[in-house]
A and B are shown apart, each in its own frame.
Chain A
Amino acid sequence: MIAFREVVRKNSLLLTKSNSYLFNSLGYVAPNAAFIGQDYKIQVRFGSTKHWNPKWKPFRRLKVIKVDLPDFNEAAESKNYSPDEVRAKMKERGMSPPRPWMERPFEISSTSDIFEPYVPPEGDGKASYISKEGAKQSAEMVSKKSKTWLAFRKIRNFDEDFEGKHFAAEAQKIYLNVHKAVSEKDKNTLRVLVTEKAYPEVTLNMRSRTIVWNFLDTIEEPRVVHARCTDVIQKENVFAQITCRFFTKQSLAIYDRFGRLAHGSEVVAKDVLEYVVFEKHLANQYGEWRVHGKIIPEWAPTNFETSYRTFRMSN
């Protein structure tokens, strides 16, 4: 307990019950000339006002029955408890653990990754077909396609009408529908057009913003560039992944939560080169070709004209 007391200053010397002389931390201080000979009061703090014999204090403390208050913010403070810690806490509370097995069956209708991803050649989209480099590129692509052809054959086992040439056009339709659904925030359509792996990635970027997207033109015809088949758990459970290359003209404007333009422009058209992976669950008779992911090459530029983020340099 710190007590404030009004102490009377007499002739610049501090007189109290306990001490009759006082020096401040710097030593004796010469009195202010205006106050010499006059009494005036100042407020002073003293260290402890504890009673010299506090024999009843423990009894007073025992009168209040101690209550263990639960920490409501413990989860917020230290996230990511390990399973052992969580189990220990539940045991403390007398809560039974959850069932160690899952009774609800679930379906695996999409793979979790892009298998053997396509590596786009550097400088793609920067040279035309007619030039020497462009011709070289297209030649390279054809020669490296052995695995792709094998994958096509496997796809034809399940789907007889499949043809690599016609697939690209179909794929573009799906691709455009996905974009349309995203700009309209149509989650129901998106479920059908996009795999389970891609869905959270797409929807996360849809939230809390308005997207205005327009497809303007195709610069180069879409073409299949890569195909692979994989099986999940069982050998017969085959998934096919096909990568298509799209070179199109699009316009994109993204408005943030408050309706302010954060990226792009509704008016400016941009040339877009993309490698989109489509996936189909072949073993499933109701499987559809859906957008599964995107290949972003390392040489893709990362300097976007987004809204600025200002950082303070740590020195």
Chain B
Amino acid sequence: MSYGYCSILDEEWSEPNRDLEGPDHVLMIVRHGVSHRFQPLDPLFQYSRLLFPAAVPAVSDKMTPVGSSNGSFSNVLVPTRNISTSNAVAMPYEKRLGPKGWPRYNNVVFPPQTMDEKRRPAYVCHMTTNIKYSPWKMWYVACFIRGMSVDEAVRQLSFVNKKGAGFVKKTLLEAQEIAVQDHNVEFRSNLWVAESFCTKGVVVKGIRRHARKRVGLVEYFHCHYFVRLEEGPPPKHYFTPSPDGPTLLQRWIDERRSQRVYGSY
């Protein structure tokens, strides 16, 4: 066993990976926001091939390139992504503030489905924390896109005259990318906004003067915005739809029938 002392070099501004630390092996892993990529062909991780023993076939197997006939599919390597899947990103020296529970839904692994079961739709949970915008104002934007398809929501938000719309749009696009990269969603347009809500974040307090030596409190609100995208076409009615003619008529009839006519027996 060799013991060594190593200074934290300038290039390696790293945090030791707490998952692996222990008496047997202390490994310095530099965090670069590496994401879980659902990309078995990633050459960076050679061990992706370990899980695909069907990699190198012998004489008997004949594998034709996937989608070689039509040009739409491709075996292109996934380009590096700039979004980190870790939530509540902070500088290396900062304590991570804000909610952490929402992205944990992305770690849930469902058991393999049987042949009878209907194909389970993929979902992805994403959030942006501590947006400098009032949560009460953000509520309008969050409610607006509920039940829309991702494309429609992004299109609409581009023309909503609110500061929060920009943040929501950014979050939606990030979530879309994460869904395609990590959660095995085939079509990036085949997503709809299943859940969209906002909560209050950090409140920074300032002061202002009033007349006659009076002081007033100024609150600078931040909000967290959460979104869950689900795979599939958007539902026809996300909210309870207003009843149509026949339904209303039937209700009216039922009311009349259940009425009590006093004096008649």
Which A residues have a C-beta under 8 Å from some C-beta of B?
Answer: 63-67, 69-70, 72-76, 79-81, 83, 86, 89-90, 93, 95, 98-102, 104-110, 125-126, 178-179, 182, 191, 196, 198-202, 204-213, 219, 232-234, 237, 247-248, 250, 252-264, 270-274, 283-284, 286, 293-294, 296-297, 300-311, 313
Q: How far is the CA of A75 from the CA of B94 in the complex (A)?
A: 10
| A254 and B51 contacting across the interface, CB-CB below 8 Å | yes
Complexed CA–CA distance, A95 and B110 (Å):
44
> Which A residues lie within 8 Å of B56 (CB)?
125, 272-274, 297, 300-301
Residues of B within 8 A of A106 (CB): 3-4, 6, 26, 28
A70 to B201, CA, bound (A): 13
Report which of A63, A89, A198, A234 forms a contact with B47, defined as CB distance below 8 A: A198
Please determine whether B46 and A201 come into contact, CB atoms closer than 8 angstroms: yes
Contact B25 A256 (CB under 8 A): no
Give the segment of B7-15, B134-142, B245-253, B257-265 that binds chain A.
B7-15
Note all chain A residues with C-beta closer than 8 A to B160.
none
Distance between Cα atoms of A106 and B6 in the complex (Å): 8
B26 touches A303 (CB 8 A): no
B2 within 8 A of A: yes
Is B73 touching A205 in the complex (CB atoms < 8 A)?
no
Q: Are A259 and B66 in contact (CB under 8 A)?
A: no
What's the A-B contact tally at a CB cutoff of 8 Å?
Answer: 278
Q: Which of B2, B10, B13 contacts A108 (CB 8 A)?
A: B2
Distance, CA A209 to CA B109, complexed state (A)? 6
CA distance A110 to B112 in the complex (A): 36
CB distance from B242 to the nearest CB of A (A): 28
Whether the pair A258, B184 counts as a contact (CB closer than 8 A) is yes
**Residues of B contacting A: mostly:** loop
Tell me which of B85-93, B191-199, B233-241 binds A: B85-93
Contact A252 B52 (CB under 8 A): yes
Contact A211 B51 (CB under 8 A): yes
Contact of B110 among A70, A73, A257 (CB under 8 A): A257
Q: Which of A89, A208, A237, A259 contacts B111 (CB 8 A)?
A: A259
Closest to B215 in A: A65
Determine if B101 is an interface residue (Cβ-Cβ < 8 Å): no
Closest A-B pairs by Cβ, 8 of them: A72-B130, A201-B47, A270-B54, A272-B53, A106-B26, A67-B206, A271-B58, A259-B113
Whether the pair A273, B94 counts as a contact (CB closer than 8 A) is no
Pair A311/B58 contact, Cβ less than 8 Å: no
CB contacts (< 8 Å) of A107 on chain B: these are 1-4, 24-26
Q: Which residues of B contact A206 (CB under 8 A)?
A: 51
Contacts of A234 in B (CB 8 A): 2
Does B129 lie within 8 Å of A72, measured CB to CB? yes
B69: CB under 8 A from chain A? Answer: no
Q: With the chains together, A232 CA to B6 CA distance in Å?
A: 14
**Min C-beta distance of B199 to chain A, whole Å:** 14
**Residue in A69, A70, A270 whose beta carbon sits within 8 Å of that of B57 in the complex:** A270
Is B84 among interface residues, defined by CB-CB distance under 8 A?
Answer: yes
Are B91 and A303 in contact (CB-based, < 8 A)?
no
From B93, B94, B112, give the contact of A261 (CB < 8 A): B112
- Bound-state CA distance A95–B93 (Å) is 9
Q: Is B243 an interface residue (CB 8 A)?
A: no
In the docked arrangement, what's the CA distance between A178 and B47, Å? 12
B184: contacting residue among A83, A179, A262, CB under 8 A: A262
Q: A75-B89, A304-B52 are in contact. Are A284 and B1 (CB under 8 A)?
A: yes
